Amino acid sequence: MAGQILALAALFVFAFGTQSPCHAQPFSFPTANHALFEKGGEERFFVGTVGKSWESGTFGCVRSDGWQMHEGLDIRCLQRDKHGEPTDPVLATADGVVAYINKRPSLSNYGNYVVVRHRIEGIDIYSLYAHLHEIRPDLKAGQPVKAGETIAVMGRTANTHEGISKDRAHVHFELNLFVNERFASWYRKSFPDQRNDHGDWNGQNLLGLDPRLLLLAERAQGDKFNLVNFIRGQTELFRVLVRKADFPWLKRYGALVRANPRAEKEGTAGYEIAFNFNGVAFELVPRAASEIKGKSKYQLLSVNDAEHQKNPCRRLVSKTGSHWELASHGVELLDLLTY
Ligand SMILES: [Zn+2]
């Protein structure tokens, strides 16, 4: 029997070369709830906010009449104990390494939460699982985890005044890009009076992608799904020129940098950066000094009006009359990105 299996394995290697015959998809659901993939399954997958429809549990400008961002998915629980408390295992969405654990629920509106770092196609992407009842006791920062491995039990911890009721029990699930490893120092300098209990793992240093779109794209494209292409395919909200040639995002997300022969020849004096509505820098083009007009640190080059009408809630740009400018939140994002 073992010999037969070996022979079969050899046949696979022969038939498919060194490529894996069954290419695993990078991301999977963080709980057993897969209703997102069923027709009309959204009601069973998402939990809305109190008195609102399931859409308010999705990613985007879905809160406060479109003016408040929800940076993850609120995924409904499937199983409960006799007291009605959620008991769903929470699973790592992909292979990775535990990056951060918060076991002090009173310090965050996320309650108990775990962040896992994944390296996929050269991209550092961070999954986050929040409102957990219990985090697996042996789990520590730096520990490797496998896709589908149980890391916690779903709960409803949060430090918010209103809390999370039993019927709204869910895991809040995010997929983020990491802005700057010097965040803690930037934050101290920029907000000297504010507390930062989570170091680099402050929500401001993590920029979410829409996990629903990502999971659906993966399902539709199968083996052809490509994370870099998914990120490059974001809808542009605005484009800025920054007079800085070196900042952490360029190294961490080098796959998003486009070639420019002129900058290569003359030297790079700055970057033209395209952002989506949530502030994800998804395309960066080096620019030579001879291509840069004006002297300002940040130059707003363009704004996509239609996208701003659709997704204005991060307030990164604003319009006065017919004139667009970077709003204070936009300037803050650029300061952190280039710090
Ligand atoms: Zn949430």
- Tens digits of residue pLDDT in 232-270: 999 999 999 999 999 999 999 999 999 999 999 999 999
Write down the pLDDT at residue 25.
72
Burial 93-106 (b: 16+ CB within 10 A, else e): bbbbebbbbbeebe
What's the one-letter identity of residue 132? L
pLDDT at 30 over 90: yes
Across the range 1-15, mean pLDDT stands at 44
Which residues are near ligand 1, the ion (C-beta closer than 5 Å)?
74, 172
Q: Each residue of 114-129: pLDDT tens digit?
A: 999 999 999 999 999 9
pLDDT at 6 over 60: no
Quick one: tokens of 286?
């080096």
* Residue 239 CA to ligand 1 centre (angstroms): 29
Least confident residue range of 11-25, 211-225, 286-300: 11-25
CA 196 to ligand 1 center in whole angstroms: 20
Distance 77 CA to ligand 1 centre (A): 13
Sorted by sequence, the CB contacts under 8 Å of residue 117 that are 6+ apart come out as 96, 97, 98, 99, 124, 125, 126
Measured in angstroms, how far is the CA atom of residue 133 from the centroid of ligand 1? Answer: 15
What number of other Cβ atoms are within 10 A of residue 137's Cβ?
7
Residue 14 has pLDDT above 90, yes or no: no
Between the CA of 139 and the centroid of ligand 1 the distance, in Å, is 23
Ligand 1 midpoint to CA 63 (Å): 10
Q: Rounded to the nearest 5°, which phi and psi values hold at 55?
A: -60, -30
Q: How far is the CA of 40 from the centre of ligand 1 (A)?
A: 21
User: How many CA atoms are closer than 13 Å to the CA of 15, on its beta-carbon side?
Assistant: 8
Interval between CA 72 and ligand 1 midpoint (Å): 6
CA–CA separation, 339 and 301 (whole Å): 21
> 17 pLDDT exceeds 50?
no
Tens digit of each residue's pLDDT (9 = 90 or more) over 172-209: 999 999 999 999 999 999 999 999 999 999 999 999 99
Mean model confidence pLDDT for the chain: 93
Whether residue 250 contacts residue 275, with contact meaning beta carbons closer than 8 Å, is answered with no
Q: Quote the ligand 1 centre to 178 CA distance (angstroms).
A: 19
272-314 pLDDT tens trace: 999 999 999 999 999 999 999 988 999 999 999 999 999 999 9
Q: Which two tokens stand for residue 44?
A: 């069973």
Tell how far CA 251 is from the center of its chain.
18
pLDDT at 111: 96
Evaluate if residue 83 carries a pLDDT over 60. Answer: yes
In degrees, to the nearest 5, what angle opens at C-alpha 44 toward C-alphas 153 and 93?
Answer: 45
How many angstroms does the Cα of residue 74 sit away from the middle of ligand 1?
5
